[in-house]
Amino acid sequence: MFKTTENSLQYVDCHSHLFDDMFNEDLDKVIEKAKDRNVAAALVCSVTVRDFPKVLYLSEKYQDFVVPCLGIHPVQKDEKGEQMCVKHTDISEALSLIEKHKDVIGAVGEIGLDFQPRITPTSEEKDVQRAVLKAQVELANKLNIPINVHSRSAGKPTIDALKELKPASVLLHAFDGRPAVAMEGVKEGYFFSIPPSIIRSEQMKLVKQLPIENIVLETDSPGLGPVKGERNEPSNISVSCDYVAKIKGMKVEDVMKITTMNAIKIFPRLKSFINI
C-alpha cells in the first residue's frame, strides 16, 4: 500500500524521450517541474542505437528520476534525416549493448512495429520489422527484462507477434488500434499507457474498455502532448490521469495509485523510485 503521508501520491511516466534535442537547454528545469508535480520517475526510451549513450548518460545524471530503456524503434532515419523502415543491420550492435547494460535498464524499448504506408509500404519491410522485433523480444526474454512497445498502425500485428514470442512483461504505449484488439492484449496480461494527447484523440473508447488494472500513464515527451505542436513534458502526466479518472468515473487519487502500482508490476526497477 502507498504511504499516507501528504506527498505519498506519485505518478510514473512510463514512456518518454527526454534525450531529445528539444530538452537540450532546460532539462534540469523540466525534471524539477515534474518532481514538484509528484512525478516520481520517467522511463526514457531510445529510438536508435545512437541514442543509447544519451539515455545512459541521463540515467546517471538523474539517477533519482530517469529509468533507462534501450531498444531499436521500427522507424529509423537516413543520412538526410528522413524517416525510413528499420533494417537488419540496425540491430546488430544494439543487441550486444542491451545485454551489456542489462543490470541498469528498466526495459528493452522502444521496440515494435510501425506499418504506416509511407514508412512500410511493402510486405518485405514488414517482415524486416517483425524480425527486428523478434530479436529484441527474445533477448528481453533471455535477460528477464520487460519490453516497452510501439505499435502504430499495427495494433493487431503487434499483439499477434507478441503472443507468439511470449514476453513476460509488456507495455504497449500510445496504442492506436481498436479496443477489441487491445482486449486481446489484456487477456495476455499486457498493459497499455495513456498519453496526454488522449484529450484530443479518438481513443476514448479504448480507455473506457480497458480495465484500470491494465492501464498506466505516459507522456511520450516531447511528443503526444495535450496541445498539438507544443513540446510535451513529464509534468503533463496529470492530464492523462485526470482524463482516465473522468472516463472511468473514478477519483483522480485512485487512478494515480493504481496506475503507479501497475507500473511497478511491469517495471520492477521502479521500486527504488517510489514511496510505497
Pick from 176, 248, 266: nearest CA to 212: 248
**Cell of residue 97, nine digits:** 549493448
Q: CB 249: neighbour CB atoms within 10 A?
A: 7
How far from the centroid of its chain's Cα atoms is residue 188's Cα? 18
Grid cell of 236 as nine digits? 503533463
Asked if 139 and 108 touch (Cβ cutoff 8 Å), the reply is yes
Distance of CA 271 to the CA centre of its chain: 17
101 is in an annotated binding site: no
Residue 73 assigned to a binding site: no
- DSSP lists the bridge partners of residue 112 as 150
Please, which residues have CB within 8 angstroms of residue 37's CB and are 6 or more apart in sequence?
Answer: 11, 235, 237, 238
Is 15 labeled as ligand-binding? Answer: yes
Of 264, 193, 62, 55, which is closest to residue 72 (Cα–Cα)?
55
Instruction: Give strand ranges (E) for 119-264.
Output: 147-150, 170-173, 191-194, 215-217
Q: Is the dihedral of CA 55, 56, 58, 64 positive or negative?
A: positive
Sheet holding 215-217, edge to edge: 11-16, 39-45, 66-70, 107-112, 147-150, 170-173, 191-194, 215-217
- In whole angstroms, what is the distance from residue 263 CA to residue 159 CA? 20
Does 26 carry a binding-site annotation?
no
Question: d(Cα 198, Cα 205) in Å, to the nearest integer?
Answer: 11
Whats the size of the chain, residue-wise?
276
* Sequence ranges of the binding site for a divalent metal cation: 15, 17, 110, 150, 173, 220
* Sequence ranges of the binding site: 15, 17, 110, 150, 173, 220
